Amino acid sequence: MNIKLKTRHDIKKMKKSAAILAQVLEGLKGLVEPGVNTWKLDKFAYDHITNNNAKPAFLGYKPSNDMPPFPGTLCISVNEEVVHGIPSKERILRNGDIVSIDCGVLKNGFYSDAAYTYKVGRVSEQKEHLINTTKKALLNGIEAFKVGNTLGDLGWAVENTALEAGYSVVKVFVGHGIGRGLHEPPQVPNYGLKKHGLTFVEGMALAIEPMVNIGTEDVEILDDGWTVVTADRKSSAHFEHTVVLTENGTEILTMFDGF
């Protein structure tokens, strides 16, 4: 496995990319409301990223020959949509929805990647609890990301948080390394066994991203080739940060106010 460790210079560049991304996710807080279409959210993100001399990492992304290029700046996934939802003028957010928004930025040759699940108006107690649990799962995973720990420690911390709340984690989609590539080794599962797997060392940069479902962990992909939904159509939440191990410890690069 070819893990690409980051130098101080690399991390400095990644921080610039991550700062733009964090501004997008923070700015969306004021735009996510009942009645707005998801295309409007996407346009805000595109404009902010390009106005800062950066590129949307997801726009036109094509991971394989049998998939269409992704048509948006943001992946916008509502309620039972887990990840990779496509922005649309026809998709209107409604009171009580939850919407997971994933964004990637390329700036000066380095990528950042983060996601946040927003409440649309007033949501049910169950959805509120799902959001809080998923955010906690991410933070617990980040806490396990330190020199000397393993991928299994991180995955265990994420999944155990979800299981204790009575939820499940999606296993067929995982986090990943990040840097000059949007997706670098290693893969970062949201499950695992303590003290198993790759050992973390200084210079590693990961995009840690738990996807937590109220019901089954099983998912399906819709006919658009991108949108992933829960098999039982119960709600899902998604949080993600770009995180790096430095000489001073673990640093979250995509942090913003309220996250």
Q: Residues near 136 by Cβ (< 8 Å), separated by ≥ 6?
A: 161
- The reply, when asked if residue 97 is annotated as ligand binding, is no
- The reply, when asked if residue 196 is annotated as ligand binding, is no
Q: How far apart are CA 155 and CA 71, in angstroms?
A: 31
- The reply, when asked if residue 238 is annotated as ligand binding, is no
Query: Quick check: 189 and 137 in contact, CB under 8 A?
Result: no
The dihedral of CA 209, 213, 217, 218: what is its sign?
negative
- The reply, when asked if residue 143 is annotated as ligand binding, is no
- The reply, when asked if residue 102 is annotated as ligand binding, is yes
Q: Residues near 163 by Cβ (< 8 Å), separated by ≥ 6?
A: none
Q: How far apart are CA 217 and CA 238, in angstroms?
A: 13
> Which amino acid would we find at residue 29?
K
Q: Cite the annotated binding site for a divalent metal cation by residue number.
A: 102, 113, 176, 209, 240
Residue ranges at the known binding site for substrate: 84, 183
Residue positions in the annotated binding site?
A: 84, 102, 113, 176, 183, 209, 240
